[in-house]
């Protein structure tokens, strides 16, 4: 029997566990997560109104309920209070790290630290009830917001900023976030990209959702579309459809809905301006195509008023204590999933997902990535199985002061969320605080 630990219970971790048990009937997998809740970004990164994507939890659940897969929540690996990576390695024949990309890229401009300036991930964590998130008063006194970035996450947070309570109430959004969004006085959101519409990274389905929001106008400046004239027929399919949607909005006459989304292009943020001790505006430099697929500054500037700025310019992996790390790529060095230390593969250590390949692709991209790592691990299995490991690593975790939350613990959280929803007249309401359920076992 081969015992494998998979660190991380998001899509890459679950797909890795699935591949291992499907490909080899002698493999037993423990899926570890620092939270008592599984599913990673499917639970904490998908907008609550995207119920179809969130339904992927059902397929991940099937993996975690497999007879040779065990979920162990509340287990931190590395860092303060966590189990050292070298100790974890002693408990299993192999360890696969599926820890994602846990931080955001920064803008690197003056004023970025002003109150009212946040990463999109921090905002997403708040409305997703992630236990690390705090109610930071994101929308307090906010009349206008700027979202910097033109990918799907930027579209998500833009949409959530203007969503009405009627559309969010059937979702699992935490009650405090629902109340805050419902009471918001926000009237205008600018979603801004430094390059042109043809280079935007959002998908057409996500983009079109903005035009279907009740009580919200979508405005596109025809001048932005004229900066870099493109023949839609010459573009890849997604970009072609995106440009067609944007041209349709640009041709519409202005309306008078209570809220407005402005999609802006060819604007590069250069400074966040202070007003009253917090962000008051964003200064942008107008850009122009450089003929090489990028843009160059024009020396012309524009200030856009905003009391809230959310940057959505990409994710980045962070070092995990005890593992090698390539700071230039934000990934762990590897060969086909094998962790590389000092130029040579490290026996029994593997990676999958974003920490392996960088923050690219969609959820489904994790399947082939996980399978490659699983095949690599199983090719090494004869040598790995020669090591002696504990018959049950849980006892060793307890000796280290870690009390894992089993699958039944997660089911208790599910029941508590359903009960809270019933009390509030909703279906399910997501919880972030599990003290009443787990007491001292609640992760820090």
Residue ranges of the chain with per-residue pLDDT less than 50: 440-444
pLDDT at 110: 97
Q: Are 20 and 66 in contact (CB under 8 A)?
A: no
pLDDT at 438: 64
- 291: phi > 0 → left, psi -120 to 50 → alpha, else beta; which? left
pLDDT at 128: 95
Please choose, from the candidates 233, 226, 222, 220, the residue with its C-alpha nearest in 3D space to the C-alpha of residue 288: 226
Could you give the strand order of the β-sheet that contains 117-119, starting from the edge strand earlier in sequence? 117-119, 308-311, 144-148, 188-192, 259-264, 216-220
Please choose, from the candidates 55, 152, 94, the residue with its C-alpha nearest in 3D space to the C-alpha of residue 352: 94
pLDDT at 441: 46
pLDDT digits (tens, 9 = 90+) for 236-261: 999 999 999 999 999 998 888 999 99
Q: Are 412 and 419 in contact (CB under 8 A)?
A: no
Query: Rounded to an integer, what distance in angstroms lies between the CA atom of residue 123 and that of residue 155?
Result: 13
Q: What percent of the chain is modeled with pLDDT above 90? A: 83
Q: Are 98 and 16 in contact (CB under 8 A)?
A: yes
Alpha helices (H) along 115-170: 120-127, 152-162, 165-168
pLDDT at 443: 45
Cβ atoms within 10 Å of 330's Cβ, excluding its own: 21
Query: Rounded to an integer, what distance in angstroms lies between the CA atom of residue 344 and that of residue 131?
Result: 38
| Reported pTM | 0.92
pLDDT at 434: 78
Q: In terms of residues, how long is the chain? A: 444
Alpha carbon of residue 153 to chain centroid: 8
pLDDT at 104: 86
């Amino acid at each position: 029997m081969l015992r494998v630990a998979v660190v991380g219970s998001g899509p890459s971790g679950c797909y890795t566990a699935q591949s291992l048990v499907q490909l080899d009937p002698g493999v037993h997998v423990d899926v570890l997560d620092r939270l008592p809740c599984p599913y990673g970004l499917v639970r904490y990164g998908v907008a609550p109104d995207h119920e179809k994507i969130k339904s992927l939890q059902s397929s991940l659940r099937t993996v975690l309920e497999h007879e040779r897969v065990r979920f162990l929540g509340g287990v931190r690996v590395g860092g303060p209070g966590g189990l050292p990576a070298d100790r974890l390695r002693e408990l299993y024949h192999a360890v696969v790290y599926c820890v994602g990309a846990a931080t955001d890229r920064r803008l690197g401009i003056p004023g970025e630290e002003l109150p009212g300036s946040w990463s999109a991930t921090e905002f997403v964590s708040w409305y997703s009830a992630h236990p690390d998130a705090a109610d930071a008063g994101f929308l307090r006194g906010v009349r206008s917001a700027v979202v910097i970035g033109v990918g799907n996450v930027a579209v998500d947070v833009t949409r959530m900023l203007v969503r009405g309570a009627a559309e969010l109430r059937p979702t699992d959004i935490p009650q405090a976030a629902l109340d805050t969004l419902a009471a918001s006085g926000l009237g205008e959101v600018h979603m801004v990209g430094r390059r042109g519409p043809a280079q935007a990274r959002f998908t057409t389905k996500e983009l079109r959702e903005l035009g279907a929001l009740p009580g919200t106008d979508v405005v596109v400046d025809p001048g932005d579309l004229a900066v870099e004239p493109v023949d839609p027929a010459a573009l890849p399919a997604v970009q072609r459809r995106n440009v067609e949607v944007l041209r349709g909005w640009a041709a519409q006459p202005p309306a008078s809905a209570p809220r407005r989304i402005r999609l802006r292009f060819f604007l590069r943020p250069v400074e966040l301006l202070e007003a009253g001790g917090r962000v008051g505006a964003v200064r942008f430099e107008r850009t122009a195509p450089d003929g090489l697929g990028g843009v160059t500054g024009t020396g012309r500037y524009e200030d856009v008023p905003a009391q809230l700025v959310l940057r959505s310019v990409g994710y980045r992996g962070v070092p995990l204590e005890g593992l090698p790390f390539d700071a230039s790529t934000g990934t762990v060095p590897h060969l086909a999933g094998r962790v590389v230390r000092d130029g040579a593969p490290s026996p029994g250590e593997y990676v999958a997902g974003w920490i392996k390949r960088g923050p690219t692709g969609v959820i489904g991209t994790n399947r082939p990535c996980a399978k490659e790592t699983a095949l690599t691990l199983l090719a090494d299995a004869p040598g790995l199985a020669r090591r002696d490991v504990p018959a049950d690593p849980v006892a060793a975790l307890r000796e280290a002061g870690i009390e894992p939350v089993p699958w039944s613990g997660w089911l208790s959280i599910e029941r508590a969320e359903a009960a809270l929803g019933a009390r509030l007249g909703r279906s399910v309401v997501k919880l972030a605080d599990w003290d009443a359920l787990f007491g001292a076992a609640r992760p820090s």
